[in-house]
Amino acid sequence: MRVMLRLAVLASFALAAAAPRAIAQDVGFLLGVADRSTPYDSTPERLSTWWITYREGKAFPAKTVAGLVVPRESGFWRFGISRFCTLPTAENGLTEHHCADSIWTRVAAQAAPRARVTAPGDACPVDALSIHFASPAFLSISRNYWRSECRGSFLDGQESFVHTYESADSVSFATLGAGARAAYRGAAAQALNVGAADSLQVQQDESCHTEPDEDTGWLIRRRQNRWSGVLFQQHGSDLCVFQQPIDWALPARALGYAETAIDWNGVTRLEPDAEQVVPVLEAY
């Protein structure tokens, strides 16, 4: 499944890097694309970046680069996901191998690592990663650890977290600024269990509830007209999963730019079926 990673921060920085206000050359933006795989495949999520230019009012895809390109203060960086799989072994009558993802980051001018090709066989278990958002400061990542009955038991574990390029340690939501901790705790109190059977959302109870102080469980997601923090916690099985928007505006240092206010009612008057909108920021 191909997913466009519509990251406004990339567009704004690309324009800024392309030219000053007196633009004499082509102007364009960076568009991140993810070819998503399922956690059960032997291939990881593939990220690429398209450089889109504009000439005479028309858009042209000028170049495609492996990995997601992110403009940072130190220059352009890029990153992607690698999947390492063990050699296939025979177990429980099946030929299988264990696969685990990792994130690589480097200066954009450096070559991307070569993709690993694995031998045929069932991947079990799989530790898969997906990228949902990138700014010059943060990456928003989801992890799915899937183990089928070929290992004697079934497990579908999920987590979402945010970390920096320099460290794999999860970022605490409370560190983002004044009021962030209280906002996370408020979201934890309101969250419903979205992993309940039959797709029902049910109230928290003694056996399945959020942990308000575990504030490294969150992700960055586009919600209509703005980027938003979303609480994500799974406790135990995939039948105890909580997702809840956090009512607190993400700061510019997290997004990479000061987000422009957008009239959502005005958007839906023009496009009633609109789900998300991202502003096009002019060069500066």
What CA–CA distance (Å, rounded) separates 253 from 262?
20
pLDDT of residue 98: 78
What residues in the chain have per-residue pLDDT under 50?
1-2, 4, 6-24, 282-284
User: Which tokens in the block code for residue 274?
Assistant: 């609109």
Dihedral sign, Cα of residue 13, residue 18, residue 24, residue 26: negative
pLDDT of residue 172: 97
pLDDT of residue 147: 72
Three-state helix/strand/coil letters over the chain: CEEEECCHHHHHHHHHHHCCCCCCCCEEEEEEEEECCCCCCCCCCEEEEEEEEEECCEEEEEEEEECEEEEECCEEEEEEEEEEECCCEEECCEEEEEEEEEEEEEECCCCCCCCCCCCCCEEEEEEEEEEEEECCCEEEEEEEEEECHHHCCCEEEEEEEEEECCCCCCCCHHHHCCCHHHHHHHHHHHCCECCCHHHCCECCCCCCCCCCCCCCCEEEEEEECEEEEEEEEECCCCCCEEEEEEEEECCHHHHCCCCCCCCHHHHHHHCCCCCECCCCCCCC
What CA–CA distance (Å, rounded) separates 111 from 124?
30
Residue 174 dihedral angles phi and psi, to the nearest 5°: -65, -25
The full set of domain ranges for the chain reads 172-260
User: Which tokens in the block code for residue 284?
Assistant: 């500066």
Contact present, 229 and 246 (Cβ < 8 Å): yes
Looking from the CA of 51 toward its CB, the CA atoms found within 13 Å total: 15
The count of other CB atoms within 10 Å of the CB of residue 181 is: 18
pLDDT of residue 58: 78
